[in-house]
Homo-oligomer: A and B are copies of this chain.
């Protein structure tokens, strides 16, 4: 018989679970068991393991065989442990039934409290509490909660009864109802249940328990819960555990109370006991906001004993879990009970500070600090923030709060369409794009926006994904935001905001503000840029401490993808150890260069092409000089021209006429060329090394520019380490031919200049054929850099531009766990990389290996790259720190 139910209580001997069993018992259940083992006062109970939920659902909402017996046996044990009896008229055991999955889904599932009350046990509760009113009120609440959760009776129906009684009795607030009045309410409630459901309210406590457990199990698949998991991208859970626990009451009078506390500050991580409580209250009162809770420090005055005990438990739990805890407690008649502990959620700022300080305190070692740091959130450290001082001084309150879809603070004027946003941005306005939801057509507006706010869509919606990709703050799924596109205005909880009005969003918290708020750059960025002293920023100090730990640990190097000296400088400040991908094509778009580039493309013979290329040479050389200088001796992998030539030509007649005018040629020639260069599948077309195979003079110019720049920079005293990367190689012979041409140019430049520099020649591995034949390719290549964007496109057969029509369905259907363009497809593309590595090393054991696709900054991919033995990953400048972190995590 499978074991479905785990008891907790009665100290270590009596407790069957422990903290390690989170996947089995859910977070709450595992931690309740652990606390019992630690001797912390926890009301006893038992946990139905998560798998039960899955079995129940698959079995058409029936319990698996044996579960009933196990629940009964555990209930028996619980009665014995508490010295109380379920449903008894003397000292009745009351129960809470709560959900608790392996990951937290706050408030999404159902809970039943005060379970076990009926006419008989009610008498017992009166006796025990000494308060008829309390007992009746408990019963009333139970009926309402149970009937709603387990019997699907609308809340409203009960509210009507309550209102009616209040009217009859002439009272205004619930708490003024006396025991008799509550008696009438109870009678009314029971009638509501009967008339609505056609069934009597179950008086058998065992029926109540069964029905409550079922309600909690079913709530795993309620719309709200499913939607929450979708919105927060929570996957891979089998279901929720169910925790059945003896009730304790914080509302038995002024010697009772309840509260929530954190062992440290969850907002900034400061090591200070932090929390709130209310006396004579139940848990829901603390969060409901009707009464203002007291700061935890004042509990010392109210109930010194309980406070001291709580402080001791705080220490005990933190020492035990070696992490910051989020603790729920109840004081019943002066006795402290802990109802829950869990590792506290916290901001990335709190993560940084707690990790660093806990290492300093000796609580954890560096490995633990590194492992814990949420790599997926690490980039938030560098996002701009809303100025808290400004918010406080202006006394601004959020108008709504929704999903923190992309981190950072942003403030600006509202526009409701991408076109309007673009127009306003062009006029120099700071723009906030507000949409019901975004689609690919909004990209232009998103690109110019300071921040994005959407009324619909979760953490993986178009807006959220694109905003994160752009590093643009975004709050999504703000259901309270009612947009009227025609009137160009919106209403947020009563606040009217029209086009051009100012709003601010906090992408860290999901808060939306109806006014302008100042935005500050991240302190870390200010320090890296020398605009702020490290000593003046605790955040930057901790950041540097933490990154030092990270760098001590990691073996994988981190380079950057940068095409300009400016980007390169920033990346080096972020810790980049070289350039892994310098895309030369971007350089051709600037200023006059595009003219020469077009001249080159429109050339009708080699001589004309060479003339145009000669004009580009000094500009390219200057680019590379700037980059080599910015790198100050670090290596730079420079990729030769890659995109299809049509990308450099204008589309449309007006553009063609303009180009023809500039170059002084017949517009028909330009149009003809555009037509000739049109391709059905440009991704698989005339690009990459294929350009140089057909027009070697392009490669010759670029190689000359690189080598001349390196020589010039070295002459000025800075070491240059150019690595010439030939893209889109599919066949060894392509590389052999082009490498020979490159070597010819290099030797020529060396002899012209009378000096030499070090260099390497290698290739991108981005065509599957190159990966499969990497042993051959390695004969010519000194390094491989995996271009995982294209490699994914060709290996999986997905066009990145077009996959929007089916990839979301694929991810939803779990065909791919993640979008393979965001997280490397390890089983497919990754396997091909492993093949290429092992073949490449067979030919050239010391071949240098890196990755330069956009996956290079994605933590799961970085871990994979470490595992398969790459020398480095390369990513955009702002992702360098997270890549360093992920590289360190991968070693542990």
Give me the interface of A with B, judged by CB distance under 8 Å. 679-686, 690, 693-694, 728, 730-731, 733-734, 737, 766-769, 772-773, 776, 790, 793-799, 801-803, 805-806, 809-810, 813-816, 825, 827-829, 831-832, 835
Contacts and interface: CB of A to CB of B under 8 A. Distances in A.
**Chain B CB within 10 A, most for which of A684, A728, A734, A737:** A684
Given A680-B802, A690-B806, A694-B809, 11 more contacts: A680-B799, A681-B801, A684-B794, A686-B805, A693-B806, A734-B810, A737-B815, A772-B795, A772-B835, A794-B795, A794-B797
A682 B685 contact: no
B681 A683 contact: yes
B773 A795 contact: no
Contacts of A813: 693, 733, 737
A768 B795 CA distance: 5
A799 B769 contact: no
Contacts of A831: 772-773
Nearest to A829: B769
Contacts of A790: 797
**Chain B CB within 10 A, most for which of A769, A825, A829:** A769
A797 B737 contact: no
B801 A679 contact: yes
A684 B798 contact: yes
Contacts of A805: 685-686, 694
A806 B684 contact: no
A828 B836 CA distance: 13
Given A682-B681, A730-B828, A831-B773, A693 B815 contact: yes
B694 A806 contact: yes
Contacts of A794: 684, 768, 794-795, 797
Contacts of A679: 799, 801-802
Nearest to A828: B769
Contact of A796 (B686, B767, B776): B767
6 contacts: A681-B682, A682-B802, A683-B799, A693-B815, A731-B815, A767-B795
Contacts of A772: 795, 828, 831-832, 835
Interface of A is mostly: helix
A54 B4 CA distance: 83
Given A686-B806, A794-B768, A801 B693 contact: no
Contacts of A825: 769
How many chain copies? 2
A772 B730 CA distance: 17
A751 B619 CA distance: 74
Nearest to A683: B681
A284 to B, nearest CB: 43
Nearest to A681: B799
A690 B796 CA distance: 12
Nearest to A676: B805
A799 B768 contact: no
Nearest to A679: B802
**Chain B CB within 10 A, most for which of A734, A797, A815:** A797
Contacts of A802: 679-682, 684-686
Nearest to A645: B805
B799 A684 contact: yes
B683 A731 contact: no
A773 B828 contact: yes
A734 B733 CA distance: 36
A793 B829 contact: no
Contacts of A683: 680-681, 683-684, 799
Contacts of A809: 693-694
Contacts of A694: 805-806, 809
A876 to B, nearest CB: 23
Nearest to A767: B797
Contacts of A680: 682-683, 799, 801-802
Contacts of A806: 686, 690, 693-694
A810 B729 CA distance: 12
Nearest to A816: B731
A733 to B, nearest CB: 4
A768 B767 CA distance: 10
Contacts of A766: 797
A768 B832 contact: yes
A734 B797 CA distance: 13
A828 B814 CA distance: 31
Contacts of A795: 767-769, 772, 794
Contacts of A829: 769
**Chain B CB within 10 A, most for which of A679, A776, A829:** A679
Nearest to A685: B802
Contacts of A682: 680-681, 799, 802
A697 to B, nearest CB: 14
Given A681-B799, A799-B681, A733 B814 contact: yes
Contacts of A835: 772
Contacts of A769: 795-797, 825, 828-829
**Chain B CB within 10 A, most for which of A767, A809, A825:** A767
Contacts of A810: 690, 693, 734
A672 to B, nearest CB: 13
A799 B813 CA distance: 29
Nearest to A835: B772
A797 B686 contact: no
Nearest to A766: B797
The 5 closest A-B pairs by CB, nearest first: A681-B799, A684-B799, A680-B801, A769-B828, A767-B797
A693 B807 CA distance: 10
A682 B731 CA distance: 24
